[in-house]
Amino acid sequence: MIRIGLGWDLHRLVPLRRFLLAGVELEADRGELGHSDGDVLAHAVIDAVLGAAALGDIGTLFPPSDPKWKDADSMELLRLAFSKVKEQGWRLSNLDCVVTCERPKLIPYRERIRAALAAALDVGPEVIFIKGKTAEGLGPIGEGAAVEAEAVCLLER
Ligand SMILES: [Zn+2]
């Protein structure tokens, strides 16, 4: 059986926060605002794998109202979420993602991001891909006030 999952997330970008994508810190003058560490890509991937297995979503598993998740390491949340997916017998076939922000450029970090996601999801980096896009200066993402991530995954069992 195969199942497709889709995840999406957006975070504000503000000064004095780290800019994290799948736990990899990018050099930037702004970072993601969030109750957790704000890792927009980790959050989109969590929703994609949970959605494919119909096991809920990031908000139900890790409610922002729970102080336990304040400043949480989102890659740890991804490992926790994916362990629930694995318990149901699923394994990841592939994961494809888009991250949209005006800066920084994602390309220099892409291989590290792929490796970080691969390690958290029990696969090799060859089944994971990340594309960096800009919003062409339009809207809040184009103005550098936000970053958005989308993730699509395929699970098999
Ligand atoms: Zn988020």
Distance 47 CA to ligand 1 centre (A): 10
Rounded average pLDDT over 112-120: 98
For ligand 1, an ion, list residues with CB under 5 A: 9, 43
CA of 43 to the centre of ligand 1 (A): 5
pLDDT score at 107: 96
Give 40's Cβ-side CA count (13 Å radius).
24
Provide the token pair at 7. Answer: 């995840």
CA of 97 to the centre of ligand 1 (A): 15
Identify residue 154 by its one-letter amino acid code. Answer: L
Alpha-carbon gap, residue 92 to 50, rounded angstroms: 11
The overall pTM is greater than 0.85? yes
Task: State residue 127's pLDDT score.
Answer: 98
- Tell me, letter by letter, the H, E, C secondary structure of 9-55: EEEEEECCCCEEECCEEECCCCEECCCCCCCHHHHHHHHHHHHHCCC
How many CB atoms are closer than 10 A to CB 104?
Answer: 16
pLDDT at position 141, please?
98
